Amino acid sequence: MGKLVAVVGNSGVGKTTLTQQLCAAVPQLTAAFEQHTERPFQALFATDLYRYGLANQIDYLLYRAEQEQQLRTETAVGIVDGGLDIDFHGFAKLFYQKGYLTTAEFELCQREYILLRQLLRPPEIIIYLTAPLDIIKNRYQLRGRALEIAQQDDLHQLDQLLQAWVATIHDSVVLTVDAAADDYTSPEKLAPLVAQIQRLWP
């Protein structure tokens, strides 16, 4: 069974960039990305936050679990940009706090997440990107995605949710990366991460 690395952090902090750079540095990695424009409910959710919130979150949790399941069947090490845990502990909780999910709907997402995580081993390594909120907000603006559900005003709340979740992790090795500087993906900064990932191969 293959090993798994998850890259997590706030929206706009640089998860996708780091995932791509790690794949370039370790060509044996198999990557899975968010593909937010391809999800069937994402655009609908953006047009009606209260009607499609549940369908969108159920779809994302299943999709992320399917990605993990597929990567675990590979002999190579897999790397996930975001992933199952951040979609629940970050986004599902954020949308519940904002009222896009009712209590019953959030509890359904929670039941789904708990069952999926019981059926799927957690990632061996979680790379947690951090940066000051003003830097994250600036990067969020610069990436200019046409479809965004979590808005710039949500980034502080999302940051707090992710910090609270990461503090509870016991079953994965957590590697915290200071992504504040623009050179956080330089070869020198990537080297310790690459070394940790390469240890996952038998």
pLDDT in tens, 154-202: 999 999 999 999 999 999 999 999 999 999 999 999 999 999 999 998 7
Is the predicted pLDDT of residue 147 greater than 60, yes or no?
no
Phi and psi torsions of 89, nearest 5°: -70, -25
Q: Dump strand ranges (E) for 46-191.
A: 78-81, 125-130, 173-178
pTM of the predicted model as reported, rounded to 2 decimal places:
0.94
Which tokens sit at 174? 């957590």
pLDDT in tens, 19-56: 999 999 999 999 999 877 788 898 899 899 999 999 99
- Return the CATH fold of 4-198: Rossmann fold (3.40.50)
Is the separation of the CB atoms in 64 and 84 below 8 Å?
Answer: yes
**Predicted pLDDT at 37:** 75
pLDDT in tens, 74-118: 888 999 999 999 999 999 999 999 999 999 999 999 999 999 999
Domain map of the chain by residue range?
Answer: 4-198
10 contact partners, CB below 8 Å, separation of at least 6: 129, 131, 136, 155, 158, 159, 162
